[in-house]
Structures are given as C-alpha cells and as structure tokens.
C-alpha cells in the first residue's frame, strides 16, 4: 500500500472545466459515457510541458476512448493499476470515454451501487473513480451536465445534482432526464439516484424572497416518517441565514433516504443522500435521541452547502476545513434548538470517550493529518469532533461578532474555491487583526494536551493559579510545542456560591478567560475569600485533559452548585472517575456515600431540569474512563463500577421508585429521567421491578419508552428467552430501523453466553445482513463498543468475534471493515493477558489474503 503525504501536495497539471456524463442503466450493468473538457492548469509549474495525464479509475471496463472525437489506438494510452494514462498534445482538448460498470455487484457502497432496488451513489472521498476515469481530487472543480436513461417503470425517478433541464421518452419503455448543475464542483459531490420512491414536497422562501422547492424521497409507504426531517431542513435553512447570512443557492433541494449507506449522510450538491436512520422518524418508531440525530444530520448536510460545497477542500488532508467547521455549525444549531448545556455535555462525551482514545492510540493524527493510506480511514472523531472543538476555541477567543467577521471574510475571499485550513485561519486572523501563529499548533500536532493546575494562597485574598501544560508523544510526533489554550474560569466559595475575582490587573468579574500559551504560566488572582474552589475549563473551553487536586468535598460542592451547568455535571463525573479509577480494588463505604448523597441532592433539586438530572446521575461511561487513562485494570474497573451502580440503585431505591411513578413522561427530559430511574430499579432488584418494564413495553405509546423497557428486559437474566423481546420483534419485524434497535438491545446483555447468542442467533437471523452497515453496526459495533464486559471477556471470545467480522467484511465492504478494526485500538492499555489475545487476532487479520488498504492501515498501525 502507498502512503500519501501532505507535504507532497502538487497542483494538478490539468483541470476539467466541463463534465458531461451519460448513464445508461440496465439490470446487470451500467454504461457511463464521459465527455471531459480538459485544460492545462496555469497554476501548475509542470503543465507548460504537457506532462502525461493520469486519470483515476477503479474496476472500470473501458470500452471506448477518444480525444477530440478521434478514437485512440491501443498505443495511445496506458491502463495501469487504477490509472488511465494519456499523453496530451494540446493545452485544451476533449476526452471521451465509455465505461461499463456493475453497480448491482458493488457491495463496497462506494461509487455507484444499488440499495433496495434503486441506484444511488457515494463518491466522497474517492468513489467517483469507480464510476468513470477522472481526476478524482477535490480541487478539480467542474460544471456537470448529466443525462440518465433507464426503464420508465422501474426508475420513474432519475435524479442528479442541480436543476432538471429536460426529460423525455425513449424506445423500449425507457426514458431520460437531463440535469445541469451551474455551480462547478469537485466530483466527490456528484450524485445520482434512480428508483421508484415516495416524495414529501415543501417549499422554502429564502431571505431574499426566492422560492426553493424541497423534496424528500423515501421508500414507498414511509411518508408518515418524513415530516420531522422536512421541518428540520427548513429550520436549518433559516438558521444559516440568521446566524451566518448564508442563503441557499439552487431552486431545488433534494434529500433521498437509502437503507444501505456507509455513514450518516452525504452533502452532494442539491441532492443529499441519507442513511434512512437520519431521515425517518415518528414517535412510534423513533426515540427522542433519534429525533435529535435527524435534526442534527439534516442540518449538518445542509450547512455543508456553504462550508464544503461553495468553499471546498484543496486536498483531503484539509478535510477538517469542511468537517470540523460544519460539525461546529451543527452543534451551535442544536444548542439553539435544544438545551444548550445538554448539547454541550453530549459533545464532550464524544470527545472524552472516543476522541481521547483515538488521540492516545495507534491512529492518533492531527486534525489536519500529515499522511494516509486510505482516506476513508480519516473520517474520524479527531477530524470531525476535535476539529469542531478547535473552531469552537476560535469562537470563544473572538466572541460571536468577531467569529462572524472571520466567517464573512472567509466566504468573501474563497467562494467557488478549493482551499486549505490555513486559508481559514488566515481569514479569521485578518478579519480580527490577531496573530494566531501559535494557535496553528492545533492543526499540526496530534495528542491530547494535559494541563495541571495548582492554586496557592499568597496572602489574604491573594492567590496564584499555576498552570503547566504538556502533550504526550504520538506515533509520528515525539515532542510538541505548547498550545494556545483558552480556559474559562470561575471561583466558588466553600458553600458553592459564585465569587467575584480579578485576574492580574483586570476588572472584577465572576468569570474570566485565561489564555495559556506557555509551558508553565501563572495567573495572579485576587479574590476576597478564605477558601476558594476553582471552576475550571467551563463549558469545556478547550479539548484537553485538566488535572486539579480537588478534595472529594470540593467536587461534591461543585456538583451541587456550580452555576455553570456543564461544570456542574463535570464535577460529578470527575468525582466518580476519581473513585472508579483509583488504585484501590474496592470502593469504601464513605466513597459510595459521597456519591449517594450527591445524587440525592441532584435528584431533589427543584431548579434543575430533568435532562440535566438524567445526565448527572449516570456513571461516566467505561469508554470515557478508559479513554482518559494510560493503563487500565479492566476487571477492577468493571467491578467497582458495578459496585457503585448497585449501591446507588439500592440506597436510592425509594427515590428512583418515586421518580418512576410520579414523573409524567410527557416531554423528552422527563422520559429520559424516568427511564434512567427504571434502569436503576432493575439493577436494585430484577425480580421486584421486572413487572414495571414489562408493563412499560406493553403499553408504551412512543419508541423512547418502548425501547427503554426493551433494553432493560433484554439485559436481564432471562433476556435471551424473554417473550417480550420476541413480541417486540413480531411487532416491528417489517420496520428496519426499529429492528436495528432490537438487535442492539440484545448484544448488551452482559452474561457469558451473549457471544454464542450473537453468533448463533443474531448473525444467523433472517433479518441480519452483513452487507447492511446499519445491521453490522447494531450488532458488532454496539457489542464491541458498548458491552465492554463481554467484549473484553478473559477468554478472548469477544475479540475473536470482532476479528471474524473484520475478516468477513474485508472483501465485502472494506470501509466498514476498517472502521470495525479500530475497536481494537486501545489494546496497549490493557493487561498482558488481554494484550496477547488481541495481538493474536490482529496478526490473524493482517495475514489474510487480499487485505484491503482500509483494514491494513488500521491493523498495521495498531501492531506497531
């Protein structure tokens, strides 16, 4: 496999000004003819000499090729591994090719493929080369005209990007539609859909009074699950106008939902293609969390129209330019639509459980990676979510207005261009007249910085806050320069009241932004109090780990009353993490009591809303505990976390019971808290409270409650034989997305026979399909990421299961196989027995025949 390096970037010697494509769709193949207007690139030093032109192409049968209407003879071109090489003789010419492809056999779900009887595409990152020979790199921006021909009955809908230009009938029951997209775009944004679908139509009037037609296409019979996605689309369109002054630019915006899709969704210009999971939702079939997911992903793809499509990436190393920024935008949108602190907590949970793990493992990379083998492996939590945190720091440093100025300048300068992260930072800098030389380290350095903070009292009301930052080595970077780290800070007194203070010579305030730039830095704090408790990194103002030696009482105080909701939650997490990760093999009675009392106070706090309560009384996830540690004793951790859960379940049993019985589940927050209470009750006594769950699953009127009950039942001792699990299946067997939940609920059972059950019942189930990423995710990813007790079973059976699936998927769908393989990446933190077991699975994987680049890259790095 070849490694590609960022430092080797060179502009392409050729450009493609216009792209005309004709697709002839048939039952077992598709003919693609391409006519490309090619020019030498004035920005390339080599282009004056007309070097050979190398076009990318994978798994294409080249049937015809000509230049300027003259057919080429065999000696005029070369076909090498995944390349077509021609020798241009003029600086401008037209290249025509005709290729045959087999979408019906394409299980990689990349390029053109079929899903549920319809044709659809996924071209990002490098899938377009599976459709036709092309310069498959994002800086090649071309105006596309597309003609699609197919059977009228089977494919009444023939869709592509832009606006429909003409349509008509052909012979043999066939018809055609022609599309033209006026905005030049990279080929990764190309899309085609053909099929017979239902459509929900609507209209949006833009801020300048233009009418945009909105069309949401779904499988027949699913129209009753579309309204929420449509409403979310309109809300996002309005939000982007109001927040960023960005208006939609075509007359038509289409969204198509397909069942077989490798990720959440894709922002193809004017024709988004979505995983059904992020479109279909109504109360009966979708949980409150699903609704949030739909709203977020619909918004994310819509926001890409400006951050991604109008301004795109020069090369794939710059992916965070569009992804980090667009995640940041969808996060701000969700904060405006939902509860801000709850959203922030969710965002930080992802960073702590998944991104910190990635940053401390073999795949660690900066948000702008320096190298890759398979680009698809770099659609990561680092590029996306840490990338969004980096943008969020800019937002914190510049404030709302300054950030907007930077965005405006970025769009003004770069509309219609393919640019770099550097261009973005420069626009922010210049619009605000700041120097962000050091800030750029966030783009170039991998790893999670650790900031150690100490508070010392100098005299009455005088303190020093000493900060020291460091960043551990990562595979390609041994030593790091200091980062610029904004730390939003407040102080509380011993009773938890917010204190006024001054930093250095500043004004009296109750919150300040400390900006760390040195390895060691000390801030002088003036504060009129005896004892002060620092409330640090409020709202998670930087993607770092922060260490401060709080006493358990101080943490409990913060948990009970920090005015910053995020930090209040965080203090609770911190308190529990400290106890769970300490060296002692068991929890002491006092430890358990401290948490119990803290929970009790939270649950009785009448000011606090239910969603925040629900979050506060959940233990830090095992993933985040592992993600934050360098070494972990899993058995001890599992043990202690069970002890703590048991204790909280038992000691607060009456409280859980009263919440369950008195809280009306009439809004999402209340449902959430009530269902958390239910899960504690079943931990307290399965025998005693099983009836509650049984009753809930039978009478639930919404999927949130129905699923919560299913989850506790499926997890219970007799979960595998439960009649309720079976009834749920009978009820929902024809609702694919609900079945995914049914599969997931079962793989979370922590009993020893779960792995056998997965192998013999779930993977063999008639509704399971290895080719469907949602199913693989529901069963295998959910098991290995969320049933850690069994995934890490000392027998190694969990590892063997994951490895078997990686190997099975390696040929079928390398992208999904590669992603699954990353689940092994934490192995060096574990005990030697588990290390040996995982290592042998990794070695088994790496030695199989025809290993895909995707899997190779992940496993090879993991073994190093």
- In terms of CB distance, is 266 or 821 closer to ligand B3K? 266
Strand, helix or coil for residue 17? strand
Decide which of Zn ion, ligand B3K, none touches 124; Cβ closer than 5 to 8 Å per partner kind: ligand B3K
**Rounded-to-integer distance, Cα 200 and Cα 218, Å:** 8
| Shortest Å, Cβ 275 to ligand B3K | 10
| Shortest Å, Cβ 168 to ligand B3K | 33
The token pair at 610 is 């239910």
Considering only the C-alpha atoms of the chain, give the largest distance between any 2 of them, rounded to a whole number of Å. Answer: 92
| Shortest Å, Cβ 109 to ligand B3K | 10
Cis amide bond preceding 108, omega within 30: no
713 with 722: CB under 8 angstroms? Answer: yes
* Side-chain half-sphere CA neighbours of 393 within 13 A: 27
Helix %, strand %, coil % of the chain (to 5): 45, 25, 30
The catalytic residue among 126, 267, 301, 374 is: 301
- In terms of CB distance, is 490 or 773 closer to ligand B3K? 773
**Rounded-to-integer distance, Cα 123 and Cα 272, Å:** 12
| Shortest Å, Cβ 17 to ligand B3K | 25
- Tally Cβ neighbours within 10 Å of residue 401: 9
Q: Which residues contact 361 (CB under 8 A, 6 or more apart)?
A: 825, 826, 828, 862
Secondary structure letter of residue 36 according to DSSP: E
Helix 552-561 to helix 565-581 angle (10° resolution) is 150
Region 289-328 residues binding Zn ion, contact defined as CB under 5 A: 323, 326
| Shortest Å, Cβ 735 to ligand B3K | 25
706 noted as active-site residue: no
Rounded to the nearest 10°, the torsion over CA 818, 124, 81, 92 is -170
* Closest among 62, 103, 105 to 82, alpha carbons compared: 62
- In terms of CB distance, is 149 or 267 closer to ligand B3K? 267
Residues that bind ligand B3K (CB under 6 A): 124-125, 263, 265-267, 300-301, 304, 323, 376, 379
Strands 533-535 and 512-516: unpaired
- In terms of CB distance, is 177 or 257 closer to Zn ion? 257
| Shortest Å, Cβ 266 to ligand B3K | 5
- In terms of CB distance, is 127 or 627 closer to ligand B3K? 127
- In terms of CB distance, is 308 or 490 closer to ligand B3K? 308
288 with 672: CB under 8 angstroms? Answer: yes
Region 325-344 residues binding Zn ion, contact defined as CB under 5 A: 326
Decide which of Zn ion, ligand B3K, none touches 827; Cβ closer than 5 to 8 Å per partner kind: none
The token pair at 571 is 């203090």
- N-to-C CA span, the chain: 16
Query: How many residues contact Zn ion, by CB under 5 A?
Result: 2
Decide which of ligand B3K, Zn ion, none touches 705; Cβ closer than 5 to 8 Å per partner kind: none
- In terms of CB distance, is 326 or 826 closer to Zn ion? 326
* Closest among 537, 542, 528, 536 to 554, alpha carbons compared: 536
**Rounded-to-integer distance, Cα 130 and Cα 58, Å:** 5
Q: Which residue is nearest to ligand B3K (CB)?
A: 124
150 with 175: CB under 8 angstroms? Answer: yes
**Rounded-to-integer distance, Cα 168 and Cα 501, Å:** 73
| Shortest Å, Cβ 128 to ligand B3K | 12
- In terms of CB distance, is 276 or 675 closer to ligand B3K? 276
What is the DSSP code string of 745-793? HHHT--STTHHHHIIIIITTSTT--TT-HHHHIIIIIHHHHH-HHHHT-
Decide which of ligand B3K, Zn ion, none touches 125; Cβ closer than 5 to 8 Å per partner kind: ligand B3K
- In terms of CB distance, is 124 or 215 closer to ligand B3K? 124
The token pair at 72 is 């080429």
- In terms of CB distance, is 183 or 743 closer to Zn ion? 183
Cis amide bond preceding 125, omega within 30: yes
* Closest among 157, 349, 141, 173 to 271, alpha carbons compared: 157
Decide which of Zn ion, ligand B3K, none touches 640; Cβ closer than 5 to 8 Å per partner kind: none
| Shortest Å, Cβ 272 to Zn ion | 11
| Shortest Å, Cβ 263 to ligand B3K | 5
| Shortest Å, Cβ 265 to ligand B3K | 6
- In terms of CB distance, is 263 or 602 closer to ligand B3K? 263
Rounded to the nearest 10°, the torsion over CA 549, 551, 552, 556 is -100
| Shortest Å, Cβ 138 to Zn ion | 13
Question: H-helix or E-strand containing 409?
Answer: helix 387-414
**Radius of gyration of the chain, Cα coordinates, nearest whole angstrom:** 28
Neighbour-count burial of 292, counting CB atoms closer than 10 A to its CB (0-12 exposed, 13-18 middle, 19+ buried) = buried
473 with 447: CB under 8 angstroms? Answer: yes
Neighbour-count burial of 513, counting CB atoms closer than 10 A to its CB (0-12 exposed, 13-18 middle, 19+ buried) = middle
Residues in contact with Zn ion by CB under 5 A are 323, 326
The residues assigned a catalytic role are: 301
């Amino acid at each position: 496999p070849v490694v590609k390096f960022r430092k080797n970037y060179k502009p392409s010697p050729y450009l493609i000004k216009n792209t005309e494509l004709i697709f002839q769709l048939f039952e077992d193949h598709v003919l693609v003819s391409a006519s490309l207007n090619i020019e030498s690139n004035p920005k390339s030093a080599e282009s004056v000499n007309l070097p050979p032109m190398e076009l990318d192409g994978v798994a294409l049968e080249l049937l015809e090729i000509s230049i300027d209407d003259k057919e080429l003879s065999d000696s005029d071109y070369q076909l090498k591994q995944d390349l077509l090489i021609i020798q241009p003789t003029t600086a401008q010419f037209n290249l025509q090719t005709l290729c045959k492809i087999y979408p019906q056999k394409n299980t990689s779900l990349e390029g053109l493929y079929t899903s549920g009887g319809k044709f659809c595409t996924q071209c990002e990152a490098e899938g377009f080369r599976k459709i036709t020979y092309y310069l498959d790199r994002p800086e090649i921006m071309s105006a596309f005209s597309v003609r699609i021909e197919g059977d009228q009955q089977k494919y009444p809908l023939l869709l592509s990007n832009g606006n429909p230009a003409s349509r008509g009938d052909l012979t043999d029951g066939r018809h055609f539609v022609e599309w033209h997209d006026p905005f030049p775009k990279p080929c990764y944004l190309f899309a085609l859909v053909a099929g017979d679908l239902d459509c929900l139509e609507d209209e949006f009037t833009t801020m300048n009074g233009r009418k945009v037609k909105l069309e949401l296409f779904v499988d027949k019979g699913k129209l009753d699950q579309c309204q929420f996605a449509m409403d979310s689309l309109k809300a996002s369109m309005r939000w982007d106008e109001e927040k960023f002054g960005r208006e939609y630019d075509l007359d038509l915006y289409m969204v198509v939902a397909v069942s077989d899709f490798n990720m959440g969704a894709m922002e193809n210009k004017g024709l988004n293609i979505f995983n059904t999971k992020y479109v279909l939702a109504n109360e009966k079939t979708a949980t409150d969390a699903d609704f949030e997911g739909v709203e977020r992903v619909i918004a994310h793809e819509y926001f890409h129209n400006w951050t991604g499509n109008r301004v795109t990436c020069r090369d794939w190393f710059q992916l965070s330019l569009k992804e980090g920024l667009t995640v940041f935008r969808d996060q701000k949108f969700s904060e405006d639509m939902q509860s801000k602190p709850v959203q922030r907590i969710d965002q930080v949970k992802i960073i702590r459980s998944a991104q910190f793990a990635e940053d401390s493992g073999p795949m660690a990379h900066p948000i702008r990676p320096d190298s890759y083998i398979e680009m698809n492996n770099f659609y990561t939590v680092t590029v996306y979510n840490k990338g969004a945190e980096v943008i969020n720091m800019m937002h914190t440093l510049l404030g709302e207005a300054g950030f907007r100025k930077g965005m405006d300048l970025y769009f003004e300068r770069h509309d219609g261009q393919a640019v770099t992260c550097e261009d973005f930072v420069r626009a922010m800098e210049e619009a605000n007249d700041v120097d962000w030389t050091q800030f750029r380290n966030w783009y170039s350095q991998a790893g999670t910085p650790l900031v150690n903070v100490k508070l010392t009292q100098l005299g009455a009301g005088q303190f020093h806050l000493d900060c020291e930052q460091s960043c551990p080595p990562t595979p390609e970077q041994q030593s790091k320069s200091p980062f610029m780290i904004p730390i939003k800070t407040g102080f509380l007194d011993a009773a938890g009241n917010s204190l006024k203070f001054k930093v250095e010579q500043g004004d009296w305030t109750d919150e300040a932004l400390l900006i760390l730039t040195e390895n060691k830095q000390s801030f002088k704090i003036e504060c009129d109090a005896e004892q002060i408790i620092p409330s640090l990194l409020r709202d998670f103002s930087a993607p770092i780990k922060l260490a401060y030696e709080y006493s358990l009482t101080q943490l409990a105080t913060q948990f009970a009353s920090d005015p910053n909701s995020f930090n209040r939650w965080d203090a609770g997490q911190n308190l529990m993490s400290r106890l769970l990760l300490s060296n002692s093999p068991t929890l002491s009675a006092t430890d358990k009591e401290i948490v119990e009392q803290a929970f009790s106070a939270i649950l009785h706090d009448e000011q606090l809303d239910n969603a925040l309560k629900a979050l506060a009384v959940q233990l830090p996830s095992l993933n985040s505990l592992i993600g934050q540690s360098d070494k972990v004793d899993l058995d001890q951790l599992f043990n202690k976390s069970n002890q703590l859960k048991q204790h909280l379940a038992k000691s607060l049993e009456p409280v859980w019971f009263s919440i369950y019985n008195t809280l009306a589940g009439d809004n999402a927050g209340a449902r959430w808290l009530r269902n958390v209470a239910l899960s504690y009750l079943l931990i307290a006594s399965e025998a005693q409270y099983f009836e509650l769950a049984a009753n809930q699953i039978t009478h639930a009127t919404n999927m949130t409650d129905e699923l919560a009950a299913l989850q506790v039942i499926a997890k219970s001792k007799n979960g595998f034989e439960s009649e309720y699990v079976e009834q749920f299946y009978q009820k929902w067997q024809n609702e694919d997305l609900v079945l995914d939940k049914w599969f997931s609920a079962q793989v979370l059972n922590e009993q020893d026979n779960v792995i056998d059950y997965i192998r013999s019942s779930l993977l063999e189930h008639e509704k399971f399909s290895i080719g469907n990423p949602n199913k693989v995710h529901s069963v295998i990813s959910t098991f290995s990421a969320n049933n850690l007790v069994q995934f890490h079973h000392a027998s190694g059976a969990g590892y063997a299961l994951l490895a078997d699936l990686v190997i099975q998927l390696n040929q079928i769908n390398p992208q999904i196989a590669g992603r699954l393989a990353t689940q092994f990446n934490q192995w060096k933190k574990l005990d030697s027995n588990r290390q040996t077991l995982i290592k042998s699975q990794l070695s088994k994987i790496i030695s199989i025949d025809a290993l895909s680049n995707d899997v190779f890259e992940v496993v090879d790095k993991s073994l190093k």
